[in-house]
Structure 1
Amino acid sequence: MKTMQSYTLEEIRDKLEKQEFPMEGITALGTARFCFREPAGTLGIALHAGSSVRQDMLEIMEVSAEERCREEDPHTDIFVKDFPMQIIALDSRFEYDLNRDMKNCIYSYHVKQWGLQVWSRPLTTEEIEFTLQKYREFHELLEMVIDHILGYSRIAILFDVHSYCYQRERKTEWWKDERPEINLGTKSIHRQHFAPLIDAFLERLSRTRVDRHQIRVAENAIFPGGYLTRKYAGSHPESVLVLAIEYKKIFMNEWTGELHTEILSTLVRDLVRARDHIMQ
């Protein structure tokens, strides 16, 4: 894998303003990998694809790598790899959760997450402050790119890709589990304003078939959307549409992390087709 160049936010902003496409790299604090091939009205995002934890935090983290992987969203970066503009988070949500507001982005020492004790002790002020610097860097990059898109496009559509575990209680074939394979969280957005786009997107996704099984697509059945959805629904209610997409982890073994490449390829292909359909 090639070494990617590191850029400050100011350098990225300058390259965007000068239309220096294509561009790719990582942010100065290592929070995100970005790839901007050409200007587009869509942006692919994988907030929980990352698994990195800086060494000083790893030393006080109680959650094993295997446990972290299970609650992260591995391989979701692949869903947006063909987007002309994409931002991929590199750090684990167990260090800081980008889909929560800044006040709640660091999991508490006193509260378990998914039944897991995250920290061996309370974090120091210095540890918290550096973590928040990383959190801010990612979100400032995202805001910068959205502003850039809105400079030439009437709306910016963010494809915010996540995944969820379905075998917590028991191991079963995915098609025997009653929950949808794809959930779109729209609870916070201006649903009426964006109805044509949302309805067309859902309809297109519902055409997906995997191993002769029809993929079930639902709206707000599993998750209503997270912080990203709420944030931009509040600040840009009619110009930024965040499509918070949750995939059931049928594209991998959620216990071992093993990837099911054929299933993943089908889901990625049909996400791109749905994206292109609503952008016509």
Structure 2
Amino acid sequence: MDDNTPATMPFFSTAERLVLQRPSDDWDLVVDEGPVIATAIHDGHLMRPSLIAHLAIDEDQRRREEDPMTGVLVSAGDVRLCVRASRFQVDLNRSRERALSTNLEDTWGVRVWKGPVPERELELSLAAHDRFYAMVTELVEHLIARWGCVLVLDIHSYNHRRAGADARPATAGGNPDIDIGATTLDRSRWGAVVERMIEVLGGHTAGGRRLDVRENVRYPDGGHFPEWLHATYGDRVCAITLEYKKIYMDEWTGQADIEIVEDLRKGLDAAVAAVRAEFIACR
């Protein structure tokens, strides 16, 4: 699918099961049978060459602010979605108005762009934002019709060594190994699911030590994607954001520890298995 394909065309067909009939260059999507969607919307690194020319940051800086390896963790979902494009090309966890921003407040004080982004580049990125939300709308509505309710795992990662490659990491107090974001979900309906996931995730080890898993520590306001899901679908969707501290990699060199990544993947698989019955019961 090219950049000019309308967002209003259907992405899926249904016969005995949901089938993706309209693939996209914007994302990788695997649809299996079940009510769990796992997404890695900041995993991607690709950017249009025409947009790269306007960047004020180099490739290493850009990769450091992305969420590499989070795409591995989507294996926990029945539906597995990884976005290919960099968050700097289009940020799908922000509203359309802020999806490609030159405002320093939106980029952690980092000057990302040399100057104003050309209108054509902005249009291309916003069209990708429109396609994503049109696709997710269709996907979630099909799954709700099939299962009654849906669990969405919005998987991200965060840096904890911003002071520099040779500086000490940020203290653990405000930086759990996994920060569970559950700011806008219906607590009366899904609170037990959140608590059970925290319990199971915290019972696992990574790199030989027990994980520190807490709720709403770093991002008390949540992100646009889960907020939009809850505003649109109410208690039929339980959207949980998982922010993994980059204990699984060196955020300055980009080198990952695959054994720790695998430990984290197994922990998330176990947490989903522990709450799956809640969503199967919605049928």
Fold shared by both chains (TM-score > 0.5): yes
Q: d(CA) in 1 for partners of 2:80 and 2:226? A: 17
Offset of residue 135 of structure 1: 0.9
Q: d(CA) in 2 for partners of 1:209 and 1:76? A: 18
1:270 equivalent to 2:278? Answer no
Q: d(CA) in 2 for partners of 1:54 and 1:198? A: 38
Task: Return closer, same or farther for 1:87/1:212 CA change in 2, 3 Å cut-off.
Answer: closer
In the alignment, structure 1 segments of 5+ residues that lack a partner are none
Quote the residue 1:257 is aligned against.
Answer: 254
Offset of residue 237 of structure 1: 1.7
Q: How does 1:14-25 map to 2 (within 5 A)?
A: 14=13, 17-19=14-16
Q: Is the 8 A contact 2:44 2:86 kept in 1?
A: yes
Task: Return closer, same or farther for 1:159/1:72 CA change in 2, 3 Å cut-off.
Answer: same
Q: Is the 8 A contact 1:184 1:223 kept in 2?
A: no
1:13 equivalent to 2:15? Answer no
1:218 equivalent to 2:218? Answer no
Superimposed CA distance per residue, residues 85-131 of structure 1 (whole angstroms, 9 cap, x where no aligned partner): 11111111111211001011111266672332122221232221121
Find the residue that maps to 2:85 and give its secondary structure.
coil
Task: Return closer, same or farther for 1:118/1:90 CA change in 2, 3 Å cut-off.
Answer: same
- The one-letter amino acid of 1:250's match is I
Q: How does 1:40-59 map to 2 (within 5 A)?
A: 40-59=34-53
1:35 equivalent to 2:35? Answer no
- The one-letter amino acid of 1:236's match is Y
Task: Return closer, same or farther for 1:12/1:233 CA change in 2, 3 Å cut-off.
Answer: closer
Identity %: 23
- The one-letter amino acid of 2:53's match is E
- The one-letter amino acid of 1:215's match is L
Offset of residue 82 of structure 1: 5.0
TM-score (norm 1): 0.89
Cα RMSD after superposing both structures: 2.3
Task: Return closer, same or farther for 1:180/1:255 CA change in 2, 3 Å cut-off.
Answer: same
Q: d(CA) in 1 for partners of 2:100 and 2:16? A: 35
Task: Return closer, same or farther for 1:238/1:20 CA change in 2, 3 Å cut-off.
Answer: closer
Q: Is the 8 A contact 1:60 1:119 kept in 2?
A: yes
Quote the residue 2:108 is aligned against.
Answer: 114
Find the residue that maps to 1:137 and give its secondary structure.
helix
Deviates more, 1:66-75 or 1:220-229: 220-229
1:235 equivalent to 2:232? Answer yes
Q: Is the 8 A contact 1:73 1:162 kept in 2?
A: yes
TM-score (norm 2): 0.88
